[in-house]
Structures are given as C-alpha cells and as structure tokens.
Amino acid sequence: MPKHIVIIGAHAAGVDAASAARKTDRTAQITMLTEEKHPGYSRCGLPFVIGGHIPNFSDLIVFPPTYFQMMKISLKTETKAKAIDTTKKTVETQDKTGKSETISYDTLIIATGASSFMPPIKGKEKQGICSLRTLEDGYTIDQAVKNGARTAVVMGAGLIGLETAIGLREKGLNVTVVEMLPQILPQMLDADMAKPVQEMLEQKGINIQTGKCCDEILGTEKATGVSAGGEQFNADLLISAFGVRANTQLATNAGVVLGDTKAIKTNARMETNIKDVYAIGDCAESTHIVTQKPALMQFGTVAVRHGKVAGINAAGGYALFTGVLGSSISRLYNADVGSTGLTESAANRARIETITGTISSKTKAEYYPGALPIKVKLVVEKESQKIMGAQIIGGEEVTQRINAISFAIQKQMTARELAKADTAYAPPVCETWEPLVLAAEMVLMKLR
C-alpha cells in the first residue's frame, strides 16, 4: 500500500517538500493543502511588481497547476487545515464551500508559514492598513496606487519595508519610512554600514525617520496617517512592515512543541517532537551555524532547503539540515546590499568578542569605465580569528562575495587564511586586490 504524505502549506517550503518526496518515493500518495487561491508563487517578488520591474503579479506564480499534475500531487486550494490528530494520524479540513473532510496520513509536513505582524498600536483596527505578504495584498496596494494614492507611510525599515517603499517611490508617490530602532535594516547591517544605504535612499527622495516608535494610527474609520515620536505623518496609503510571526497555532493545538524562537522546534531531520510529523519554512526554527543556538531565519532559501530535507525524510529517505547563517541580499535602487553570518552587534549580543575590518574599493579596475564603489565589512572572532560574518554594499558583484563568505564561515576559515586567498583579476571585472582579502588584512592589522 503506497505511503500517504500530507503537506499543509503550498509555497516555497511545501512545494519543495512535495517535489523531494516525489523524487524519493515514486509511488507515494501526496496531498497538499493551502488556504490561498494561488499556490507556489514568489512572495519575494511582490515589491518588484509594485515598482514596475515585473509586469504582473501573475508572473510570480512559479508552480502552475500543470506542475502539480505532472508530479502527481493532489493539490487542494482554498482549503483550511482545521485540526491535526496525531494519534489517529488525520487532518481535519474545510474548503471554501464549508465542506469538511478528514484526510489520513502516514507522514505529515507542517509548512504553515508566517503572517504579517501588527503590534498593539492604538488604532490598528482602522481600515486601509495594508501589509505585503500575499498576492491579494499586492493587488490591494497596486489598486490603491491606481486609484490615486499620492503619499505613503511604510512602518518598518526591514528589507520588505524598504523594497516596498522603493516600489511606491518608483510609482511616483511621496514615501516616508518610520522605524523604531535608530537605523534601517537592523537585523541585516551594523549601524556604520546602514548609514550610507539610508543616505542613498534619502537622496532618491524617500523620507526616512529612524528612532521613532509608531504610537497611533490616525483617522476615524479609515487610516489617514501615523503618529510617531511626537510627529504626525499623513498618508493616502499605510503599509505595515513590522515583520512576520510564525503560524504555529495548528501545530501547538496538536501537541507540537515550540522552541526558544517561538517557532516549531525541529531536529536536523526537520522532525518535531511527534513521530512522523515534520515542520519546515517560516514556521520552523533552525540552528545557527556560528552560535549553535536556535534561530528563526524566514527566508526563501531556508524554506526550500528545509523542504528538501523534510520531503526526503517523510518519503522514507535520509537527509539532514546543517543549519543557517541568515545569508541575505537585496537590490535597493542601484545598490546591492548583502549580509551573512553575525553582524558585529549580533556577535556582541551573543557575547562573542570580535575584530572587524572595513574596506572601500571598486568593482573593476579604477581606470576601467563603469567601475562602481563596493564596501566590505568583515566580522572575525578575536580569539580564534575565525570569520563570523560579513556585510557588503556595492553596485554589483555583491551576491557571489556574500556566498563566498558563507562558504568560508561553514568551513571555519580564519581571517589569516582569507588574506592568503588566490583570487582572479581582470580590469573589466575586478581589482587586482580582492576587497574580501583587503578586509581580512585590515583585521590582521588590528590583531597585530
């Protein structure tokens, strides 16, 4: 009798889990459930549709219905998983018509993702506050712009908040970003690296207000602005970009244990505390490679890796998830901003004594036309001299340098070893001295 695998959630983590399970067991019966109308689309692309870089929201659908048919996956859209019974190994579901169904499983993968978070701000119940998490959210914001919105306030200066702010600015809106902390991108960059990014965004016409906590959503029934740090910012369009929170209620109701991050606790096989139940993606925590402590990294790259491991294991194979570094990248106008591992401030919070090396260079030979600036900050543990993390800002070639440092951290490379790296050179593509090597040499100078 074929094994029945049930997956709750049909985006990056869920779809990759289904794909891996199918490749592992060609005979398995695989059922996927999602509350959304459209499965398998890229959430990360939403701000770039708003900005006009991608023509339509429908272009973000990576896995069309034909994919699920080809992979022989039974997909149930607009279907809610109401309850999990881990003793009977069943999932209670309800579709959009109200029809209920009980689905049995041999192995279950929970990929319930995360939802936009709204802190307890006075007036948060007012109409017209948008977030950007789903295709429907994207349509709502796009429609507001088409209906004549001219001003916007984005609450939160993380990656999604800034990408959305840029998208709206590119559509001609006057945009203000309000951030409670004293810098933008607080999870990704140290203050010294965030400063030039903020200055660039301000030069592009985005009004950025850091160190200001949103106290109240203004307006009567409809939101018309926000009060923050004693100032009032009026807007036709309000965007909540405070981040997301893991969707764990379904799992906890079934007895699944949460970890220190308040996401679902898993082991290296993505197994929960309950036999034959796995958790993946934005609702599941991982182990940080540097600190070896629980971490919640809600990135698409983490979701697909989680999914592959859980899919293989749920289908009877064997795979391990080795941990996360939080490697991330974005393009903000013409600047690529990337980070991996620990920032200096994160290392300090983890009580790791560090030395940093920061260098400004060019992406091509100085004399070659089109050479763009690039800035690298390397974070190194003082005692062992092991590389802990890096942040890079530049006009090009940031992604692969971040990836290179990710490899270096995973291989426990030291700053001394990086400083001796044998790197390539040609005037149209890079300097004779690789900026990562120069940053490592800067660290060694400080250590001396």
Active site residues: 44
Q: Tokens at residue 384, please?
A: 């062992």
Question: Which one, of 300, 391, 304, 281, lies nearest residue 340 by Cα?
Answer: 391
**Radius of gyration, alpha carbons of the chain:** 23
H-assigned helices in 71-134: none
Written as one string, the DSSP assignment of 118-146 is: ----BTTTSBTEE--SSHHHHHHHHHHHH
Q: How far apart are CA 38 and CA 10, in angstroms?
A: 9
Parallel/antiparallel/unpaired status of strands 73-76 and 79-85? unpaired
Classify residue 403 as left (phi > 0), alpha (psi -120 to 50) or beta: alpha
Q: How far apart are CA 149 and CA 174, in angstroms?
A: 9
Instruction: Classify residue 414 by its DSSP letter.
Output: B
Q: How far apart are CA 177 and CA 80, in angstroms?
A: 35
SS (H, E, C) 156-221: CCCHHHHHHHHHHHHCCCEEEEECCCCCCCCCCCCHHHHHHHHHHHHHCCCEEECCCCEEEEECCC
Q: Which amino acid is at 12?
A: A
- Other beta carbons within 10 Å of 276: 16
Instruction: Give the list of residues 6+ apart from residue 422 with CB closer than 8 angstroms, or none.
Output: none
